[in-house]
Structure 1
């Protein structure tokens, strides 16, 4: 259900302050992967891990304190720090226990974590370092601690553990229960990398994570915002459409583009799915009489209302004929009982049959669903509300992921993406409060799953007719996962930017649950409002709250590139080296935009990193121009055929180039 909000001209402020945001967020959350950092994404998960910044009372930013707050301070004393300007002083008096806890971080069930910290004792018993796993309800489900012996010299303390089933978040604690004086620095929490499969096949490799990246130099991830149109393709026009936007779904079935979009009106429950169709994806009509719902005295034969309550649709052409279309929607009710997500089936997308009178998943209210033909299962991302936000008593919207073979029985939802330190920093850059995840479609795409987290930057709870749920912009960003459990968010710019001030889409943006892909283009339809999430402003003379459905497009694979902006003689050429891969000997393909005076070459190394004769950089034929599909070649007609089955590495050399993807093909 859309909550409406304030006009977000303040969004423009972010352009001027993005440098400031980058300074205060950890490497893993920076807006652009910096050069010369090797593999930055799979590093330390902890914000303010060196205790180098505190508030005006000397308490560490991104950490909370329970108990005797006066026992904890950020200090700048050369004898009591190891790196950076600060360290954490924990000076526990008798009868004054204290616990210092990090911000909660998403924990992937089944993943192994390693926690380390540097500690130096001054007197008494040092504090105890631990990591604690909690579930959706903030109940502790596991954790480990290290009982540190006193040492007047710096020592490294290590704690390891695996996130149990049901884990949602992990927190680091430094707790002192007995009198003691100790200093802490360089806290690090890392997650063990996913099991690696070196086989490189025809599925395209994007750059949303570091799964296949061993090292890089002078290249960085760059988000490429979508091309959009100045006017909406769908806008409210009928009496039952006080607004028209999209959380819904768009499929091309045969030669017809089919869209299920959302509208609001004054008949309970107040929001509905409507239907539109198109022959070209640009000019849309709203066929009347396809559904079974009327509006007041207007019969169903004269509306395009499909079902009450909204929702998103998965299209599975291999399903039984009466279940080709599967719908998930939220219904209110009793918490942990009837409040949750219900499912429906349809043979045609117009008439729907209930899949049961009980929710298949609990909580609410936004869901996105998709059919994954590669794994033969449905994917649902649902919004669940954890009471872990910075604002006391306010829930923290987050995206949980669940899967199903039949759309009826679903796996236990696992926390995928939640607002973090970087999202909070983006909200604070607008003089706001914190960032949350309002929803997240998941797109099965080539070798990965692409998530589109709708990031709500809460600026206040006061401006707008529905600001009690949080006012502020909603911005679609991007995430990646190989397993639907562990998610990477290495860049944080919007993939669809709000329109310029005064445009129809200069406020909150949402997206369809899926994309349409052809050889050249990715197309995603999005819903937008001329104000933020808090709704219609209540001040006299405020513009009327308006909405529409627009179209966003990218080049194939074009959400994110690895980029180098040098030109010969000016700047520094870039390189990116893969981990070990094994191919079947067919050709290496790339999707790249090689700009003026630029070049892209590929050198092949053996498993030890030594150039392979015949595939060295001086034998590589440069790729030139803007190429959606270019075959990489070496002089003398060499191909990868002679290297089939061998462990090799690929070293891409970039000059003034955007590299979007690579893969093995004919």
Structure 2
């Protein structure tokens, strides 16, 4: 397939092909919550500027150095040697800021002569407008001192940066820069929802366990592929619902009639074998009438299904239209009683910007959720926009909250792109899945390799990989692991390039199902003279709760058994259940602790064995949690050769 295929193949080879993990904190050791990359200034680029930071002004004044008298930890520190009239500013990469969240910035500084530089943290909005700067002047001292700044992200914040600015003549050294977000308020009440391990919200400590992503099981062939004249390609940004006994899919196709892409309809009785019924919609193709196509609306979009909405609004669609920036360019709302015929709900966009959106109905929150792509000019490439996922909510699909930046490409994403000789990582889109009392995001991470290969090269070429994010409130998002949750196919497969997903999942007692769209090339499209650009819609499945597990791979007498302890929990006293796969020679036991951490007598469980989707944890003498209802307790899981996916009380 030429150069593009080679890059895609490299991505498939370098990124993990099996589950890999990231361990949370060891017992008694706080997890590193520093948001700043290279905060110790231990590595610099070829000219000595700190990696992960930008330098403006008198660039020669800022350098990473290795001087034993001017560092406290690690091999390096930042030297700022500012001369009169030659100011310099060193700025960190931009980090996502959650509006209303409190942040603490600390740094170590040591003076050599003159006036030390000033430390500050700066909150900016979508347009990079400064919303607030929290700064601290540093008194000169030849001893190391710690500078601390606190601040709260104002409403409208999108990002936060750290700045070290020298405006007056002075020679100073900087080390151990750390920016930490205050943890969200913790609620110990544990309802009946399953608790997954997508974040650290309920984890107090752990030892010798790691958070592991389990890629979906996929099929070697797509379920939907181009078969009609109006389908040059088929893929899915759309949605799939089971309504009654029928699986209903809204997928995308490209063709040569403006606007060039359309929403198509398919249905199935088993979710595997699909038909494309004709004549349901009102859209034809050239001389083919609507009665002989499965086109339902011109343009793409994603569908939300709310069975309790008024009959004529049961199905809601969000679609991007081009137009005048900040006026008519944006996302438009449509309603339909049946998913075939659509009515424009408003003459102006309900949300501005564009182009990819994902929508969902959240039954528990009784709200619609939209994630929309907004383009910030914060990319590493001059003049190129930085794609990111912003989150908004609505009660009626017409009036939406101000979008808040949820997930943006960061230092780790850039590193993944650079690992395949690329440039940077961006977020192409992100469905949000309401799941068991939390929200799971599926960010589509575009690893930009170049802007020269493929028919769409100007928009950036490279693989698109679905990953995981999690939030408890739709504002503050966590991404503790970055392995693809759906792996691209092996080189040459139909899905070895760019992967996208439906906006929702289907869940039963044992399985999570998600449909995904894939291409045999990266985002840049087909390279001239190579294998034709093909695409399809595939099927991805996981075990129930199975995106991520807390894993220990020891064996009896070989390796180290693992432990994980929760923060305090308050339950209603019903039975404790676990979703776990206890492998050969493995074991899983649970101890119930007092909130102080002391073991409660009689509350060491019998071992859980085998592959269990919803095993009840049993205690000696028939004890249950009933006697502990309303009290604060902790759970300590002991794992040997086990994948622990979730637990619940119910």
TM-score range, shorter chain: over 0.9
**1:636 to partner: Cα distance:** 1.2
1:73 counterpart SS class: strand
CA distance in 1, matches of 2:473, 2:390: 13
The CA distance in 1 between the partners of 2:144 and 2:14, in whole Å, is: 38
Indicate the SS of the match to 1:613.
strand
Residue of structure 1 equivalent to 2:571: 583
| Offset from partner CA, 1:589-622 (integer Å, 9 cap, x none) | 110000001011111111111111111xxx4201
1:147 to 118, 137, 152: 137
The residue aligned with 1:354 is: 344
TM-score computed with the length of structure 2 as normaliser: 0.98
- Mapped partners of 1:238, 1:257: distance in 2: 21
Structure 2 gaps, min length 5: none
- The answer to whether structure 1 residue 422 and structure 2 residue 412 are counterparts is yes
Q: Deviations over 1:317-370 (max 9, x none)?
A: 000000000000001011111110001000000011111110000000000000
What is residue 646 of structure 2 aligned with on the other side?
661
Is residue 42–residue 190 contact of structure 1 (8 Å, CA) maintained in 2?
no
Shift of 1:33: 2.8
Residues 12, 491 of structure 2: 8 Å contact kept: no
Q: What pairs up with 1:55-74 in 2 under 5 angstroms? A: 55-74=45-64
In the alignment, which residue of structure 2 is the partner of 1:10? 7
Match of 2:617 in 1: 632
Query: What does residue range 275-286 of structure 1 map to in structure 2 within 5 Å?
Result: 275-286=265-276
CA deviation string 1:641-664 (max 9, x = no partner):
111111111111111000000111
Which residue in 1 is equivalent to 2:210? Answer: 220
Q: 1:202 to 1:6 in 2, by over 3 A?
A: farther
Aligned to 1:25: none
Q: How far apart are the structure 2 equivalents of 1:532 and 1:444?
A: 29
Shift of 1:10: 3.1
1:197 aligns with 187
Instruction: Kindly indicate whether the alpha-carbon contact (under 8 Å) linking 1:7 and 1:530 is maintained by their aligned counterparts in 2.
Output: no
Distance 1:170 1:565 in 2: 39
Give unmatched runs, 5+ long, in structure 1.
Answer: 20-29
Is the Cα contact below 8 Å between 1:243 and 1:548 reproduced in 2?
yes
Once the two structures are superposed, residues 198-249 of structure 1 have per-residue CA deviations (whole angstroms, 9 ceiling, x without a partner) of 0011101111111000001101110000000000000001000000000000
CA shift in 2, pair 1:17/1:235, >3 Å: closer
In the alignment, structure 1 residue 603 sits paired with structure 2 residue 588: no
CA contact (8 A) 1:5 1:463 kept: no
Question: Is the contact made by 1:31 and 1:490 (CA closer than 8 Å) also made in structure 2?
Answer: no
Q: Against the structure 1 CA distance between its residues 74 and 660, is the aligned structure 2 distance closer, same or farther, given a 3 Å change threshold?
A: same
Counterpart of 1:45 (choices 14, 35, 57) is: 35
CA distance in 1, matches of 2:105, 2:184: 17
1:425 is paired with a residue whose SS is helix
Q: In the alignment, what sits opposite 1:647?
A: 632
Task: Return the alpha-carbon distance in structure 2 between the equivalents of residues 294 and 6 of structure 1.
Answer: 38
Q: Give the SS at the match of 1:633.
A: coil
Which residue number in structure 1 is paired with residue 67 of structure 2?
A: 77
Name the CA distance, whole Å, in 1 between partners of 2:142 and 2:339: 71
What residue is the counterpart of 2:545 in the other structure? 557
Q: CA separation of 1:39/1:455 partners in 2, compared to 1, >3 Å: closer, same or farther?
A: farther
State the superposition RMSD in angstroms. Answer: 1.5
Number of the residue aligned with 1:437: 427
Residue 34 of structure 1: how far off its partner (Å): 5.6
1:530 to 1:56, Cα distance in 2 relative to 1, 3 A: same
Residue 527 of structure 1 corresponds to which residue in structure 2? Answer: 517
Aligned to 1:22: none
Partner of 1:27: none
1:226–1:495 contact (8 Å) kept in structure 2 = yes
The answer to whether the Cα contact below 8 Å between 1:6 and 1:464 also exists between their aligned partners in 2 is no
Deviations 1:421-476 (A, max 9, x none): 00000000010000000000000000210000000000000010111000000000
- Superposition deviation, residue 36 in structure 1: 2.9
Change (3 A) 1:8 1:220: farther
Q: CA deviation at 1:42?
A: 6.5
Query: What is the CA–CA distance in structure 2 between the aligned matches of 1:351 and 1:583, rounded to whole Å?
Result: 47
Pairwise mapping of residues 18-167 of structure 1 onto structure 2 (< 5 A)? 32-33=22-23, 36=26, 43-167=33-157
Are 1:568 and 2:556 counterparts? yes
Q: Does 1:612 align with 2:612?
A: no
Q: Distance in 2 between matches of 1:423 and 1:532?
A: 16
Could you tell me which residue of structure 2 aligns to residue 334 of structure 1? 324
